[in-house]
Structure 1
Amino acid sequence: MHARRTAHHLRTGLTPDVARGPTMERRAHGLLRPAGLDAAAHVQRVDDAVGLLLPGTALGGWASLFLQGNDWFDGRTGDGVRPALVHCSPGTQLRRRDVITPFRGRILAEELTAVDVGERVAVTTLARAAFDEARTAPDLRAAVVAIDMAVSATHRRPRTTLDAVRRVEARHVKVRGVVQVRRALDLASERSASPAETRTRLVAQLDAGLTGLRVNAPLFDLDGALLGVADLVDPETGLVIETDGAGHREIEQHTLDNRREEAFERAGCVVVRATALDHRDRWGLSARIVRGRLDAARTSRRRWTLDPPRWWSTWPGARPWL
């Protein structure tokens, strides 16, 4: 962490002339750091927010999740990087700036922790940070994405659990945005592996009206061989919905995707694929999912099963999907 309040720099030996000179960069009102440092915009935003923290404050929301190692959260939007949420205890004098949004609502001691980034930095727990991300999200779908990425057991990043977020929600029944959190918790999953997968699932659920979908579910042939792990599968009909994120354009991943799709189709599944471009036409994607389910329901072949063979639970490669 490099950004510090001007008063801190002066207390530790920086002279006023140097503070005003070209070797120091003004990051916000009263916030300086050495000039010439290069870092991604969201990393700089977290650094700036930490530099502005006062006693009785703690970093929250996306910045807390990021600082604790869950890099699905970077605060980036189409317009740049969002301000970092900072929880303030009563009486703490911390003004709103472009880089931070002070929040003076209720927070409990058990919702606070600290991380060591060369120094101890006060942050909210992963569960409280996920709650705040969902609470302040611009809409329900964004709130579900936030919770999914905070609780996912498949992406191998630091995570919390749905139960832990629910416990936070139960303690804060009057805060703005709590109704959205409750609705998002009802739609969230601990098995989604990416924001794109979550958004595709929400199109299938909320727009196409599908229920009972299995998330990142392994499918097997009737001899017990693994066909592949489907992003989404309708256990009633065998409709498989696959989400192609940016990484799927790489030739190696694209080849694996093609082989998995062929295996699903040989076993009698119907596959619908969704890309970022499809999500620009949500209703078109929804219609394709509905048609795919109708086709799957008419398919007489069912050479697949969701029931895992004995070897599956002991195979190391199955660990993310158990």
Structure 2
Amino acid sequence: MTQRIATAASHIPPIGAVTGWAACRLHGAAFHDGLAPDGRTRLPVPIAVGTRGWVRRHPSATYSYAAIDMDCVHTIAGVPATDPVRATYDAMRAATLLVDAVVELEKSVMAGIISLEEMAAYVQTKAGTQGVRLIREAVPLASEFSRSPQEVRTRFVAEQVARVPRLLVNSTAWTVDGLRIGEVDLADPTSGLVIEFNGAYHEDGPRRHADAVRLERLRAVGAELLQVTTPQLGSHQSLAQTIVAARMRALTTPGEQRRYRFVPRQPFLHQQLLARRALAGLNASLEDRCR
């Protein structure tokens, strides 16, 4: 992947850098894999070249002529790359659907290279920029706690198509007696609906067994379970209908049978990033003094 990016970036002019998914990948965001939402089509490597208007083009790259601040460009594996916030912004701007913009944002958040607060602040500086409206809509829909892009898509369908109230993401389920049941992908505490996305990683033996035990414990305390697979994400309307039906079943569960509670996770990434960057600045200062 790095070689593919480096090849496309081989003719970047002095003012220019890879951006979008490619820069996010270089910064360590593994889910930015350079593939379209279908999981098969290769995306071109996006390159920002500023407002100079001319570049020696590469067939596997696409070019952006928006202004670029070279002070915010990092060199990674010999390739100049925009900073994580600008890179994520450009990845979101390349999306044509709201769900894809949310996914692009959360890919970077999952990797811990940006926080939602940083993107919200950055978007405020982009008023009137082409594509910013979609990004502005996407930021409030994102979560800090997602584990995979498909989980993000599942949540989007539940909240934006099925109109389920805001779901808890990767919260911890407990019994009312104080016994820990385990982490659940998506939970609606009002109805007791739990939505789990079953990706390929759920198919290995130990994981499958642990999932089965956890889900059985959830059923035993009165939760309604819905498992979603990748093919179901191909039809948002059909999946939304399934989610609505599951939530209606959950709402009919008698109160005395509801012997669970969901404990939401608390935001931490933004403060963690601030602390990490402050430490990096301190280390850089110490290195300068020692030279």
TM over 0.5: same fold?
Answer: yes
Q: Residue 129 in 1 paired to residue 87 in 2?
A: yes
Taking structure 1 as reference, are residues 291 and 213 closer, same or farther at Cα in structure 2, changes over 3 Å only?
same
User: Hey, what does 1:244 align to over in structure 2?
Assistant: 198
- 1:295-320 CA-partner distances (Å, limit 9, x unpaired): 11111211111248xxx99xxxxxxx
Q: Give distance in 2, aligned partners of 1:298 and 1:71.
A: 41
Task: Choose which of 132, 151, 154 in structure 2 pairs with 1:200.
Answer: 154
- 1:161-191 CA-partner distances (Å, limit 9, x unpaired): 1111112211112222111101111211111
User: Hey, what does 1:297 align to over in structure 2?
Assistant: 251
Q: Give distance in 2, aligned partners of 1:95 and 1:170.
A: 33
Task: Choose which of 207, 215, 233 in structure 1 pairs with 2:169.
Answer: 215
Q: Give distance in 2, aligned partners of 1:250 and 1:107.
A: 45
The SS at the match of 1:215 is strand
Q: CA deviation at 1:109?
A: 5.2
Q: CA deviation at 1:76?
A: 1.4
Q: Which one has more relative contact order, counting CA pairs under 8 Å at least 6 apart?
A: 2
How does the TM-score come out when normalised to structure 2?
A: 0.84
Q: CA deviation at 1:124?
A: 1.1
Q: Residue 69 in 1 paired to residue 23 in 2?
A: no
Q: Residue 306 in 1 paired to residue 262 in 2?
A: yes
1:1-322 correspondence to structure 2 within 5 Å: 42-77=1-36, 78=38, 80-91=41-52, 93-108=54-69, 112-117=72-77, 119=78, 121-152=79-110, 157-300=111-254, 301-307=257-263
Q: Give distance in 2, aligned partners of 1:249 and 1:115.
A: 39
Q: Give distance in 2, aligned partners of 1:158 and 1:143.
A: 17
One-letter amino acid of the structure 1 residue matched with residue 232 of structure 2: D
Q: CA deviation at 1:294?
A: 1.1
Instruction: Give the fraction of aligned pairs with identical amino acids, expressed as a percent.
Output: 31
The SS at the match of 1:142 is helix
Contact 1:65 1:129 in 2 (8 A): yes
One-letter amino acid of the structure 1 residue matched with residue 108 of structure 2: A
- The structure with the larger Rg is 1
Task: Point out the structure with the larger helix share.
Answer: 2
Q: Give distance in 2, aligned partners of 1:275 and 1:184.
A: 24
Aligned length: 262
Q: Give distance in 1, aligned partners of 2:210 and 2:239.
A: 23
Stretches of structure 2 lacking an aligned partner (at least 5 in a row): 267-291
Question: Over the residues paired in the alignment, what is the CA RMSD in angstroms?
Answer: 2.0
Taking structure 1 as reference, are residues 109 and 225 closer, same or farther at Cα in structure 2, changes over 3 Å only?
farther
